[in-house]
Amino acid sequence: MPRKCRLYDFAAEYDSEPITLENLRMAGHTGDCKRCREFVARERQNVVDDLESWAEIENLGWAKDQDFERIKKGFKNNRKLCNKIDSFSGWAFVILEMAANRVGRAIGGSDDVFRDALIHTVGLGRDEYVKALENPAEVLGKRIRNLDYTESFNYCFC
C-alpha cells in the first residue's frame, strides 16, 4: 500500500485543501509524493512563465540599488500593482524555498539569512531566479557565503 502523503494529515488538521503552496510550505513538505511533485512542477512552471509579473519586478529596480524606500514610495498611488507584485513574489519565494530545502541546509546561513537571500533573489528578476531554481545549492550558497543579498525585498510592499 502506498505511503499516505503527510500533507493530507496536515491539511485535515487545519481543515484546508491538501495541496496548496502555502500548505506545502507550512508543513515543511518538499513535495516528495507523486501528486505533490506534479503540483509543484506545475506551479513552478507557472511562476517561471509569468513574464508580465517578472517584467514588473524588474521594473522596480531592486537589482540596481536595493532601495526598498524608493520602491515603496513608487507604490504610493498604485496599491493594486503593489498587491499584485507582492502576491506573485510571495509565490515565487515559496517555490524557490522548496527547491532550496530539497538540497538541505548545505546552503548555509541562519533561517533569517536564508529567507533574506531567497527573497532578494526574487527581487533580482527572472534570470537570477531561474538560475537559483536550477541550482539552489551553488547559486544561493554562494550568495549567502559572499553576503551578496540585501534585507529585504518584501519590505517594498504595502
How far apart (Å, rounded) are the C-alpha atoms in residues 71 and 64? 11
Q: For residue 19, give its domain range.
A: 1-49
Q: What mean pLDDT comes out for the span 49-57?
A: 94
Question: Does position 114 have pLDDT exceeding 50, yes or no?
Answer: yes
Same domain (yes/no): 60, 10: no
Residues 41 and 57 in one domain: no
Contact at 8 Å (CB) between 75 and 156? yes
Residue 123 has pLDDT above 90, yes or no: yes
Q: Are residues 32 and 57 in the same domain?
A: no
Query: Domain end: 30, 49, 68, which one?
Result: 49
Comparing 63 with 30, the larger pLDDT belongs to 63
Residues 66 and 34 in one domain: no
Res 71: pLDDT: 93
Pair 44, 56 in one domain:
no
Q: What is the torsion angle, in degrees rounded to the nearest 10, for the CA atoms of residue 12, residue 39, residue 35 and residue 96?
A: -80
The 3-state DSSP class for residue 87 equals helix
Question: Which residues have a Cβ under 8 Å from the Cβ of 22 and sit 6 or more positions away?
Answer: 94
Instruction: Tell me which of 31, 49, 67 is where a domain ends.
Output: 49
Please name which of 137, 91, 143, 99 lies closest in space to residue 120, comparing C-alpha atoms. Answer: 143
Whether residue 70 sits in one domain with residue 123: yes
* Residues 155 and 98 occupy one common structural domain: yes
Average pLDDT over residues 59-67: 94
Residues 69 and 135 in one domain: yes
List, as one string, the DSSP characters of 23-61.
HHHHTT----SHHHHHHHHHHHHHHHH-HHHHHHHHHHT
| Same structural domain, 10 and 66 | no
> Would the pLDDT of 65 be above 90?
yes
